[in-house]
Amino acid sequence: MFLSIFLQVDTATTGTSVASQSVFDIILNSGPLGITIISIQVLLVFIALYIFIERYFTISAVVKEDQRVMQNLRSNIGSGNISTIQSICASSDTPLARMIEKDYSD
């Protein structure tokens, strides 16, 4: 079925040429509203990149926590000592300890 459609296409060039435009030309020809919309999109891309990079560094810092505190928390979580878990988390001022403390708060 498709073969018969493809065979009907005239492959001879008729001399039509496609005018190429750069992205900058398209933006300038879009008018004030188009330029405003594209400017807002570019601004949002930079904001998203900033948030992504900031979160990446924050999460990287959380991963590099004190392993002694984490081992102590793991052993107490396994044994179910909730009051000890809360006191360990309160004494260590790390983002991960604050998250675990909120999990085990009353």
Model pTM score: 0.50
Question: 34-70, pLDDT tens digit by residue?
Answer: 899 999 999 999 999 999 999 999 888 777 767 778 8
In which band, very low, low, confident or very high, does the pLDDT at 16 lie, cut at 50, 70 and 90?
A: low
Give residue 8's pLDDT. 66
More confident residue, 64 or 73: 73
Residue 73's closest CA among 52, 46, 104?
Answer: 104
SS3 letters across 4-53: HHHHHCCCCCCCCCCCCCCHHHHHHHCHHHHHHHHHHHHHHHHHHHHHHH
- Taken in order 17, 18, 21, 26, the sign of the CA dihedral is positive
Question: 24-34, pLDDT tens digit by residue?
Answer: 888 888 889 98
